[in-house]
Amino acid sequence: MDPSSVGIISECYVTPQHVSDQSKQP
């Protein structure tokens, strides 16, 4: 896996709620 992909996946696992908030934003 690319390092950039690993960083994105790590952030998703670390802050899943944060990602959900972004999805709700326009």
What lies within 8 Å, CB to CB, of 11 at 6+ separation is 18, 19
Q: Residue 16 is part of which domain span?
A: 1-26
Q: What is the DSSP letter of 12?
A: H
| Sign of the torsion formed by the C-alpha atoms of 7, 10, 12 and 17 | negative
Q: pLDDT tens track of the chain, all 26 residues? A: 576 777 766 665 665 565 556 656 56
Instruction: State the pTM of this model.
Output: 0.22
- Domains of the chain: total: 1
Helix (H) or strand (E) holding 21, with range, is helix 16-24
